[in-house]
Amino acid sequence: MLKFKLTLLVMASAFFSVDGGKLYKDRYTTKFDKIDLDEALNNQRLFESYLKCLMGDKCSPDGYELRGTYPILTS
């Protein structure tokens, strides 16, 4: 029984490490990698728009994508 549990644990670990990497890769976007952060933070209209979106208000298409990516970026 111990051998079975150990085998199951190893297989589950292998699956989640491979699949988890794939899921992370599929969810992460490089769209915001070349954004000038200082410009976005100093532009009051953009800053308020993105902040409201992250807080759950209406979003532009870019804001919606940022909201989906935000948990990954902060981890």
47 lies in a domain? Answer: yes
pLDDT grade for 68, boundaries at 50, 70 and 90: confident
60 lies in a domain? Answer: yes
> What is d(CA 39, CA 46) in angstroms, rounded to the nearest whole number?
9
46 lies in a domain? Answer: yes
17 lies in a domain? Answer: no
> What is d(CA 17, CA 26) in angstroms, rounded to the nearest whole number?
14
pTM given for the model:
0.51
Which of 3, 73, 64 has its CA nearest to residue 37?
A: 73
Which of 61, 57, 36 has its CA nearest to residue 48?
A: 57
Q: Match 């292998």 to its residue by tokens.
A: 14
Q: Is the pLDDT of residue 4 over 70?
A: no
Domain that holds residue 40: 36-74
pLDDT grade for 37, boundaries at 50, 70 and 90: confident
In the chain, the number of structural domains is: 1
Higher local confidence (pLDDT), 28 or 25: 28
16 lies in a domain? Answer: no
Up-side HSE of residue 54: CA atoms within 13 Å toward CB? 12
